[in-house]
Amino acid sequence: MKRPDFSNLKAVYINCTLKKSPQTSHTASLMEVSRRIMARENVKTETIRLVDHEVAAGVYPDMTEHGWNKDEWPSLFKRIIDADILIMGTPIWLGEKSSVAQKLIERLYAMSGKTNDKGQYIYYGKVGGCIVTGNEDGVKHCAMGILYSLQHIGYSIPPQADCGWIGEVGPGPSYGDTKWKGEKLENPVGFDSDFTNRNTTFMTYNLLHLASMMQSNDGYPSYGNSRKAWDDGTRWEFENPEYR
């Protein structure tokens, strides 16, 4: 099988941990497994820890126009929309994605009314996935909400677009920990999980394959899904094809 060329792709990883840098993020450790695969495939990658930035709450493109003194979201959005692939990473708290992850979804939603040069919603042709870590059940539950939100605003979701790791129920070491209660652990926690490593690898390559197909075909055809066509009165062409 000929090895695919992914070198024209760019991926952005957004870590929705609650911990500001330079605190250790267990979610970042698992995201790094995926990012290293991308790097080996010559994919350009960028990582953003959202909590390090002053991103206002809200569902408008620039919240400084709605009472906030500062909002770094417009500049962050330029980096996100420049990428072919978006991977959201989140810890699990009380069975749910983090509040930072929810804020990211809301701010992505704030931009979803914008359109690309085909008149389609702006995320059309982009690919999305997610990475989840925690010490309680909920990886699939969190992925369900994240991936639904991403596809609803226009991202395309390939098969096996999520991966995660959870430890034993209750207090215990988290993904990547090398110590617990002051005692050194034999190996970093979770690194030897075949299930997590397999799903992380499959997710990463499925994102790459779909993004490569999107790029090769210039995204989706605009026939039948153009906001511009809908608004300028030519929508009848695909509402009533018999009249073409």
Q: What per-residue confidence (pLDDT) applies to 135?
A: 81
244 has a pLDDT exceeding 50? no
Q: Kindly report, residue by residue over 207-227, the tens digit of the pLDDT.
A: 999 999 999 999 999 999 999
Q: What is the helix (H) or strand (E) element at residue 89, kind and residue range?
A: strand 85-93
- Assign 164 to helix, strand or coil: strand
User: Distance between CA atoms of 129 and 12, rounded to whole angstroms?
Assistant: 11
**Cross-strand pairs, 156:** 127
The domain ranges of the chain are 10-243
User: Distance between CA atoms of 205 and 220, rounded to whole angstroms?
Assistant: 20
Contacts by residues 38-43 (CB-CB < 8 Å, ≥ 24 positions apart): 38/6, 38/11, 38/204, 38/208, 41/6, 41/7, 41/208, 42/5, 42/6, 42/7, 43/6, 43/7, 43/9, 43/10, 43/11, 43/208
Q: What per-residue confidence (pLDDT) applies to 234?
A: 64
pLDDT (average), residues 74-88:
98
User: What confidence category does residue 170 fall into, taking pLDDT thresholds of 50, 70 and 90?
Assistant: confident
User: Is the pLDDT higher at 81 or at 2?
Assistant: 81
Q: Please state at what angle helix 99-110 crosses helix 73-81, rounded to 10 degrees.
A: 80
Q: Are strands 10-15 and 85-93 parallel, antiparallel or unpaired?
A: parallel
pLDDT (average), residues 18-32:
97
**Residue linked to tokens 């009848």:** 236
CATH of 10-243, picked from 3.40.470.10, 1.10.287.3510, 3.40.50.360, 2.170.120.12, is 3.40.50.360
Q: What per-residue confidence (pLDDT) applies to 236?
A: 52
233 has a pLDDT exceeding 80? no
235 has a pLDDT exceeding 80? no
User: Distance between CA atoms of 102 and 162, rounded to whole angstroms?
Assistant: 17
